[in-house]
Structure 1
Amino acid sequence: MIDVDRERVQAYRYAAQQLDRSAAHVGDLAVLSLGVPDSPAGSAAQSVRARVPGAEVPADLVLAWSVRGSPHLHRPADLPALARQLYPTSDADVVARMPVMRAVDAPLRVFARTVAAMREHARETTDRGTLSAAVTAEVPEASAWCQACGATHVFYSLYLQSGLAAGVRLVRRSGRLQITATGDWTIPQRTEDLPALVEQVLRLQGPGSVADVAAFLGTSAAALRPSWPEGLAEVSVDGRRAFLPPEATAALESPPPARGVRLLPPGDPFLRVRDRAQLLPDPGLRALLWRATASPGALLVDGAVRGTWRARKAGRELQVAVTAFGELTAGVRAEVEIESQQLAATRGAASAAVVYDSI
């Protein structure tokens, strides 16, 4: 068994997710295999530029509701296999992913009907509300009255998590979300090759347990355990038992030192950890970074979270407010300025102005 501490794991994750800027092109980013989260809208572009400075998001990448039903940026060629891997394995798996589905009989069968309805009604470009109303009519048993909307509609988690299997793609234009189903698509009939997906999660996220990977995928450990891959290497992370694909152990034993300053948006793959204490041990600081709503971005310095940031546009200027967890050196501040200028370009601003606070 390999014995490592949390600092080595974070150095491994930094390199595996190419925050070391080892990728020459956006299309080469390993994180695209699982998708780059785009919630809040536009954050995927920030995650991309944190790894490939100055790069534009290629037009051939697409947005889809994928892992956990959240919008992610993907390579189109990856999506058919991912849709099969993420297709629920059982009624219990459907309920683990969408607890509201306890209210229906035969949840997996209802999920399949919802997928078919999503595809049928998204063949022509539509919007969220129109598609929801059409799908609701097809699966009335999986719908409920929504006080906020003043209408009955399909369970929202079911609506989102059916999108990938239905071949749904998302396009944001002028602040509005448009939805369409890709033309060349085969709806999965069952789960396929889930162990390979588990291995890829571990490869990119670092050593983890069944519960860690289940949380990443949005299911339960009980539902995932039958698909757990054989032959994984055992790893002890500060005494906690975890697993990693055997071919990744050499990189874990001697990862290159994490270097540089990165401004990571909320939801960046590096921040998606079940045990947040491994990334940020102080519980008070964790509460500042991971909030119930409107979380800030993370200031990463040499692979460690050293603060948070928020940004807003004022005319052509992006105003970046950094709250540091302790003092920042002049060198770190200089790198923050550089990263903020890149963030300004991502947000469509001509320049950035940085203000600092500290805790």
Structure 2
Amino acid sequence: MDREQVLAYRIAAQGLHRTESDAAKLAVFDLGVQSTQRDTALVALAARCTDIDESFVDDPRFVLAWTHRGAPHFHRTGDLAAVTRALIPLDETDAMARMQWQRKQVEAAGMSATDGLFTAARAIRDVVGEPMTKGAVSTAVTKMIPAGLSYWCRGCHATHILEQVMRLAAIHGGVRLEAGVNPATLAPIEGRGRMRTKPDPAAATAVVSAYLRLHGPARPAEAAGFVGTTTNLAKAMWPDELAEISVDGRKLSLPSADLALLENPPEPDVVRLLPPWDPFLQSRDRAVLVPDKARQKEVWKIIGNPGALLADGEIAGVWRTKGSGRKRLDFTITVFDALPAPARRAAEAEAERVAKVRGFADVRVSWA
């Protein structure tokens, strides 16, 4: 098989043909929908649901929490307990890998990453009994944890708990994020039970299975990138009942149950404006999504990702917006290659859809 067939499969598997009216039934919630920037999750759902509006953030069927890689994700409320179990590190190597950019600080803390994670989780659980701003939680928790798990912040002129430790620990402390609230506010998860510290390999494997369903066919290294662990540990989480696929000479895996869709996916004849951190853009094999390295740098920035224009099975460009109060939303769409007129009209219709769900009455589209 080739990459075009893989992309057609992912477009279908992730619901981008927009045939579902109920957001809770979208397959992308099997992993969660990242919400790193204002309205990104809402726009991701607008690309997939026939009917969605801004009330999504207040829907009790969904909950926002720091989960995969410490990033904020919306999950189905009923799935959150399983997600929490999946986030318990399998061993110390796993715990340290999940610390990502703050591994060196955790290594210097004088305790294991596992102990540091759950020490912070217990402190967060004790502190957050009602909604509190992130800053207030950080201040209170920092006083309760070993000094090695905190750092001096020059900007604030204060000592804070390590950011990644706080993000990874919060869910284990039974704490979520308040959706649609600024500044970031933490609150206790309704009905939170006792804190679990024992690894749950089956729950971890379920996350990898979901990754393969939505972003496959793939290798352990790509699943590891999404989870935030090592390739060897992703292999330990590797599910059974997989089909081996050859894609452009690479041996990849896909759940056997999804093989029929890969073999005969619907035509990827859709045009969508995907927000930054959209599930489709979360595949760790970026060269499959965007083969050209220069274009990859346009889609995935170090700071300030744009949205991506999906047209007829390919990432065809990027887009950004600028709001004029709450009246008009201005779009600038930059295409990589000439775009046919029907695709341009479809993109402009998608811009109107995005503006509507974000609460803007008017829209203006500029092409570059």
Fold match (TM-score > 0.5): yes
1:331-342 aligned at under 5 Å gives the runs 331-342=342-353
Find the aligned partners of 1:21 and 1:308 in 2 and give their Cα distance.
21
Question: Whole-Å Cα distance in 2 between the matches of residues 25 and 326 of structure 1?
Answer: 35
Contact 2:175 2:187 in 1 (8 A): yes
1:122 aligns with 2:137: no
Give the equivalent residue in structure 1 for 2:199.
191
Q: Is the partner of 2:18 in helix, strand or coil?
A: coil
* Percentage identity across paired residues of the two chains: 38
Letter in 1 for 2:352: Q
Whether the 8 Å contact between 2:7 and 2:313 is mirrored in structure 1 is: yes
Give, in angstroms, the shift of residue 285 of structure 1. Answer: 1.1
Residues 1-359 of structure 1 aligned to structure 2 (within 5 Å):
4-56=1-53, 57=56, 59-60=59-60, 61-98=62-99, 99=103, 100-104=105-109, 105-140=111-146, 141-173=148-180, 175-186=182-193, 187-192=195-200, 193=202, 194-315=204-325, 316-357=327-368
Is contact 1:94-1:101 (8 Å) kept? no
In 1, distance between residues paired with 2:303 and 2:114?
Answer: 31
Shifted more, 140-149 versus 241-250: the winner is 140-149
> 2:163 & 2:356 partners in 1: Cα distance?
34
Instruction: Please give the secondary structure, in 2, of the residue aligned with 1:163.
Output: helix
Deviates more, 1:271-280 or 1:51-60: 51-60
Q: Deviations over 1:265-294 (max 9, x none)?
A: 010010012221101111111111111011
Query: Which aligned runs of 4 or more in structure 1 are off by greater than 6 angstroms?
Result: none
Whether the 8 Å CA contact 2:20–2:50 is kept in 1: the answer is no
Alpha-carbon separation, structure 2, partners of 1:348 and 1:279: 31
Moved more, 224-233 or 23-32: 224-233
1:70 Cα shift? 0.7
Distance of 1:156 and 1:177 partners within structure 2: 13
**Secondary structure class of the residue paired with 2:44:** helix
| Deviating more after overlay: 84-93 vs 181-190 | 181-190
Q: 175-184 or 121-130: which moved more?
A: 175-184
d(CA) in 1 for partners of 2:131 and 2:300? 35
CA shift at 1:143, angstroms? Answer: 1.2
* Deviation sequence 1:51-102 (CA, Å, 0-9, x none): 0144122611221111111111111100000100111111111111112422
| Counterpart residue identity of residue 322, structure 1 | I
- Deviation for aligned residue 1:177: 2.1
User: What do the CA deviations read for 1:302-346 (whole angstroms, capped 9, x no partner)?
Assistant: 221111000111130100000011112221111111111111112
Gap regions ≥5 residues in structure 2? none
* TM-score, scaled to structure 1: 0.95
Amino acid at match of 2:59: A
CA distance change for structure 1 residues 24 and 183 in 2, over 3 Å: closer, same or farther?
closer
How far is 1:147 from its partner?
2.1
Are residues 149 and 222 of structure 1, via their aligned partners in 2, closer, same or farther at CA, if it must alter by over 3 Å? farther
Distance in 2, matches of 1:273 and 1:227, equals 18
Please list every run of 5 or more consecutive structure 1 residues that lacks an aligned counterpart in the other structure. none
State the shift of 1:225 in Å.
2.5
Asked whether the equivalents of residues 68 and 227 of structure 2 are also in contact (C-alpha less than 8 Å), the reply is yes
Shift of residue 173 of structure 1? Answer: 5.0
* TM-score normalised by the chain length of structure 2: 0.93
CA distance in 2, matches of 1:243, 1:174: 40
8 Å Cα contact 1:123-1:182 kept in structure 2: no
Contact 2:21 2:51 survives alignment (8 Å): no
The residue type equivalent to 2:3 in the other structure is R
Contact 1:96 1:223 in 2 (8 A): no
Q: How far 1:175 sits from its partner (Å)?
A: 3.1
Q: CA RMSD in A?
A: 1.4
Q: Shift of residue 247 of structure 1?
A: 0.8
Distance 2:354 2:302 in 1: 24
